[in-house]
Structure 1
C-alpha cells in the first residue's frame, strides 16, 4: 500500500508500550502502511488508536468541543451532559442544549475514524497473522465502525455510508457519497453490530479491555432501542423540508419501530440467557448495604466485573492520562486543595423521582410542609407551616438506596466529613435571611450562620460562589470516597462505565412494553428484570410492568451515566420537558424560633438558572461543509 498513515507519536506513551522500532522513520510523524502493519506491534498500536478515537461520552467529553477534550489542562470545565437535562445544573455556567450549532458535533471526527477503520480493514487479508486473529480483527473493526456510525446517526439522522476505503485518484467528485435515509442508516448500524457479533471472541486473554461479542450485543441493544424510539416518536415534533422529503430525517413507520424493538429484545436476551454478566450484589441485607453496593460499582468498576460490560480506563494520574472528575465535583469541604469543586449540582427534580420503600411504584417528591403542597416554589413563605427536623438527613428517611449512592445530600457523611449544605436562617424574631452571609448568637452563646458555618471552607452550599451547590445536592456517582485525589487536573483514574448489565435489563423492559412483545414469556421476564433492579436497591415488593414504571426505573438507575440526554432525544420529549421549565432546588434552613434549633426545607427555583427552552432543531445536529459537499442540510439550519 502506498498510502501514508499519520500516527501520533504520543501514542507510544498512551499505549505504554515500545513502538519506536516501527516509528523510527523520516519524517518522524508518519509511517508507511506496509511497514506499520507488517509489525504486530504496529497493528496493536493502530487498533489502540482506533479505540482511543471511539466517541465515548466519558469524563473527558465536552458537548461543545468533542471527545478526549483538553484545554490547557482543564478538560471540560466540569460540565457534563447531565446539566443539559433535568438531572443537574452547573454551579458556574448557564448554557443549554441547542445554544450553539457546534454542540454534539461528530461529523469530521466520525468520518476520520471511519476512514482509519477502513484502512485497517483493507489491510487485514494481507497481514501475517492466523485466521483466528484475522477474524477477531474483522470483528473489532466492525464493532468500532458500528459504535461510530451509531454516534453519527443519532446526531444527524441519515448519513453517507462509506463502507470501504476510498482512494483519491484526481477526481474529488467520485469520493462524494450522498446521504442515505435515516432508516437505511439505522439498518447499517445494526448490520455492523451483527458482523461484530459474528466475529468477536467471547473474551480476551489477560482481561484486555477490548470489544467482545457481549459488548457488541450490548450496544446493539442500545442502538436498536434508540432506532425504535425514533421510528415511533420522530413525528412528535413535525419537521419539514428537503431532508424530510428525502427521508434523511424521520419517515419511519410503526412496522419499522417494532422491527427495531424486536432487535433490541433479541440482543438483550442474548446477554440475559448466555452471557457471564449479571447484577452486582443483587441481594442486599438492607437499604444501607444496597446504597454502599450501588456506590462501589462507580467508585471502582473493577469490583463489579459481573455487571460492567464495556468501560474506558485511564492509565495513571497526571500527564493527561487521567481525568479530572474528582477535581471538579467533590464538595467544597473535601476539595483537598482543588480550586474548582462542587460543579455538578443535582436537581430537586431528580431527587423527587426516588421512591419511598413504603409506597412502591410511585415517585415520592420531598414534602416540606404540613399541607403537602409541592406547587409553591417561590421560596420561604412565613404563612406556611413547615415540617421541622432535628437533622437534615431525616427528611430523606425511607428513600430508595440509589438516592444515597448517587447524590450527596445535606448533612450526609462524605470522606468522614459532615457535608453542610444550608442556605437560610430564621432568627428568633421571625426575620428570614437567605443566601446572604449573616449570623445570630443565641442567649446561650452559640452562634448560627446562614450557610451553616462561619468560614467558606466549612460548608458546601448556597453561597453565591461556583464552588457551592445551588440546588441542595452534590453528585456522588463516580467520585472516589476512599482516598483523596491530588488537587490537580488529570489525577482521577476511576474507569468510566459506558454500558453495564443494568441498562440491558432496562432496554429489554422498555422494548417489550413499547412493542407489546410477548413471545417466550417476554412480558413476565421484563417485569422480573425491573424488579431485579429494584431488589438490588433494597425494595422488597414487586411492581407491575408499565411504561411509566420502566422509564422511572431507568432515570433513577442510570442517573449521571449520560443516558438522560439521549433518552429525551430518542423519545422526542425534550421540547415537552423544556418549554420554559425552571429547575428546582431544595434548601435547608435553620429555624431558631423554637425551644431548640431545627431545620426546615424550602422547595425553590434554582438561583441564577432561569427558564430553559429546548430548540427542536437540536434533534438533528447541524452538518458542516454542506456548501462544498452538496449534502442536504438538516431542518431549521
Structure 2
C-alpha cells in the first residue's frame, strides 16, 4: 500500500495510551522529558500524532469559522467555505465575507512551536540515523504545511525556524513579518527537504506523510505562489504591508514557481505509484457510481489517495457533521437542520453534456433559448415541458450525478422532491408560497407534497430546504440513514489526491509554457475519461480551469483558486447567484414540469473587496506586526 493517510481517532487513542502510561501526565514537556519521550518509539508516535492532529486540513470539519468546527456552534449553522464562492449558497444565511472568516493564526504558531521543539531534540534521540531522518522529514512536512496555511491567508508572516526560549523579556520573542516571497520559499524548502527524508511507504502502512505527500503539497503550494505572481497586476495593493513586500509577489517570480509545480508533480506522475481510481468506466452511470463511491469511502481508492484525514469514531468531536447539515430535508431522520448546502445553477452548468464535449451547455428551459433572464416566471414565455424533472439533467457529466441531488433524482431509495410551485389551470402562478389545489379529483401541493418531511425544496420553514433547486450528495453516506446527533459521520476525507496533482501539472504547463505539453494534455483527458468522456479536448487554460471546477468541487479548492488567480473581484462584483425553479404546470393534462431561472431568493448582491485577498493579522496591538492593507 503506497498511500499514507492519518486518522484523528488513531491520534486520540495514542494520547489516551500516553495518559495511561504516565508519559505526559506529570509536567510540561522539557528537554529531559523530551529525551525520555523520544527514546521510546511509542513516544515518538505520540508526539507526532499530536502534531498531525493540529494540521490545517480543510476537511469535512472545516467551515468559515475555522478548523474542527463540530457540533453546537450556533454561529456556524453549516456555513461551509463553498458558500462564499460560486459553488453553493446556504439554504438560510445570505451574508458574505466577515473579517473573522477563514482565520488561522494562534493555533498555527502553537503547531510551529511544537514542531520546532521536536526538530531541536531530533539530533539527541537514541535511534538509528534512518529513523532520525524520517522523524525530521515528518517535522518539516508538518511545518511546511503550517506555513502554507498561514501564507495563503496572511501573506508574509513571522518565520520561526527554531524553538524559542522565554528569558523574561517578552520583546525578545517578537519576530517581524518576512516578505511573502520569503515565506513561500521557506515553506517550499521545508517540503523539499521533507520529500528527501521521508519514505515512499511506511513499512507497516502507518498513516503518516510520505515523500509523495510532500511532493504533492509542494505542487499545490508552488502553483498558488505562481498564480499570485503572474496575476499580481490584477489586484494591486497599497500601504505599508504592500510596500514592504509582505503581501504580493513580483510577476517575474511566476515561472520559477510554476517550474517547482511541474517538477514535483512530474516526479509523482513518473513514479508509477499512483493512478486515477477506476480510470476506464464503460458508461456514465458506472463512472458516477465509481466517483460517488470514492468520496463516500476514500479507503477503496488507495490508488488515488495520497494523504487522507480519517474520522473513525462517531461522537465526542471525533466525527463530523456533513450528513446532518447537508443531506436533503426529506432524509433528515429527525435532525432539525438539514439541507444547508445548495449548489448554484451556474455551478451545475459547468458540467458538460456528453453530446457537446468541451463546451458549456446551459440547461434548456425555454424554446427561445434565452438563458440570461433571471426575472422569474413570465406568462408570455414558452417554457420547455418535461414529463419527468430529472430528464433535464440526464445527459450531464457523471461528476454532476456524483455530486449534486437534482430535482426528481433518487437518493437513498427515495425520490427527492424539489418543487418551487405550480401554475394553476387558469394560468395564475403560485411560486414559493405554500398552497394546494385540487384538479380533476387529485390534490396538488406547491412544494410537491403535503408536509415538510416529504419534500426538500424552497419552503423557508426552518431554513432546511434548498433555495437553488439543487441539493448535495458528495461525501455523504448513501448506505446509512442520518443519525440525528452531532459528529456522527465517519466518512474520511482525501486531503491530497492524484487528480489534483495532475491538474496542478496541467495548469502550470499551460500557464508557463514549460514542461511537457503532450503529457499535460494526456493527464487532463485521463481525468475526463474517468468521468466517461470519450472525446478528448485540447490543452487550453479554459479547459484546465473548467476541469478543476468540476473535478475538485466542494473540496475547498474553488475558494483558493479565486484567491490565487485574483479573479474573485471579477466573479463577485454586484454578483447575484442563481437558482432553477422546477414548477409543476397544471394547465397540461397530465401535468408537466417547467423550469424557471431566478436569482437566489432572499440574497442581496455581493461584492468582493480587494482587501479580502488577505485576512487581517490578529493582535497587532501586542505583537507589533504590520497590518494587511485596508484593515
Counterpart of 1:590 in structure 2 is 584
CA shift for structure 1 position 44: 1.5
Q: Distance in 1 between matches of 2:487 and 2:74?
A: 9
RMSD between superposed Cα atoms in Å = 1.9
Q: Distance in 1 between matches of 2:380 and 2:189?
A: 63
Counterparts of 2:410 and 2:626, CA distance in 1: 54
Q: For the residues of structure 2 that align with 1:33 and 1:555, how far apart are their CA atoms?
A: 46
Once the two structures are superposed, residues 118-171 of structure 1 have per-residue CA deviations (whole angstroms, 9 ceiling, x without a partner) of 001111111122222111100000000000001111111111111111111233
Q: Which runs of 5+ in 2 are unaligned?
A: 1-9
Task: Map residues 471-550 of structure 1 onto 2, 5 A cutoff.
Answer: 471-517=468-514, 519=515, 522-550=516-544
What is the match of residue 4 of structure 1? Answer: none
> Separation in 2 of the partners of 1:566 and 1:397?
31
Q: How do 1:221-260 residues align onto structure 2 when only pairs under 5 Å count?
A: 221-254=219-252, 256-260=253-257
- Contact 2:51–2:142 (CA under 8 A) maintained in structure 1: yes
C-alpha displacement at 1:234, in angstroms? 2.2
Q: Is the CA contact (8 Å cut-off) linking 1:378 and 1:604 kept in structure 2?
A: yes
Q: Is the 8 A contact 1:201 1:212 kept in 2?
A: yes
Quick one: distance in 1 between partners of 2:390 and 2:129?
Answer: 60
- 1:25 CA drift (Å): 4.2
Q: Which residue of 1 aligns with 2:447?
A: 451
Cα distance in 1 for residues equivalent to 2:281 and 2:233: 43
Q: Do 1:14 and 1:321's aligned partners in 2 also have CA atoms closer than 8 Å?
A: no
Aligned-partner SS, 1:456? coil
> SS of the residue aligned with 1:498?
strand
Q: Which residue of 1 aligns with 2:308?
A: 311
Instruction: Spell out, residue by residue over 1:20-44, the C-alpha distance to the aligned partner (whole angstroms, 9 max, x if none).
Output: 2234744699994344334333322
Give, in angstroms, the shift of residue 487 of structure 1. Answer: 1.3
Deviation at 1:485, TM superposition (A): 3.5
- 1:5 aligns with none
Q: Which moved more, 1:479-488 or 1:373-382?
A: 479-488
Asked whether the equivalents of residues 70 and 321 of structure 2 are also in contact (C-alpha less than 8 Å), the reply is no
CA separation of 1:589 and 1:133: change in aligned 2, threshold 3 A: same
1:561 deviates by 0.5
Report how far residue 212 of structure 1 moved. Answer: 0.5
What are the ranges of 5 or more consecutive residues in structure 1 without an aligned counterpart? Answer: 1-9
> How much does 1:18 deviate?
4.9
Asked whether the 8 Å contact 2:262–2:508 carries over to 1, the reply is yes
Aligned pairs (5 A) from 1:69-468: 69-70=69-70, 72=72, 76-97=76-97, 99=98, 101-254=99-252, 256-443=253-440, 445-465=441-461, 466-468=463-465
- Hey, what's the Cα distance between the residues in 1 that align with 2:93 and 2:444? 30
Match of 1:577 among 571, 586, 605: 571
Post-superposition Cα deviations, 1:338-363, rounded to whole Å, max 9, x if no partner, equal 22110110000100111111111111
- Whether contact under 8 Å (1:218, 1:271) holds in the other structure is yes
Distance in 2 (CA, whole Å) between partners of 1:361 and 1:473 is 24
2:600 corresponds, among 589, 606, 623, to 606
SS of match in other structure, 1:581: coil
SS in 2 for 1:458: coil
The answer to whether residue 63 in structure 2 is matched with residue 59 in structure 1 is no
Q: Whole-Å Cα distance in 2 between the matches of residues 315 and 398 of structure 1?
A: 36
Q: Is the 8 A contact 2:573 2:608 kept in 1?
A: yes
Judging changes above 3 Å, is the alpha-carbon distance between structure 1 residues 142 and 276 closer, same or farther for their aligned structure 2 residues? same
Q: TM-score, normalised by structure 1?
A: 0.94
TM-score normalized by the length of structure 2: 0.95
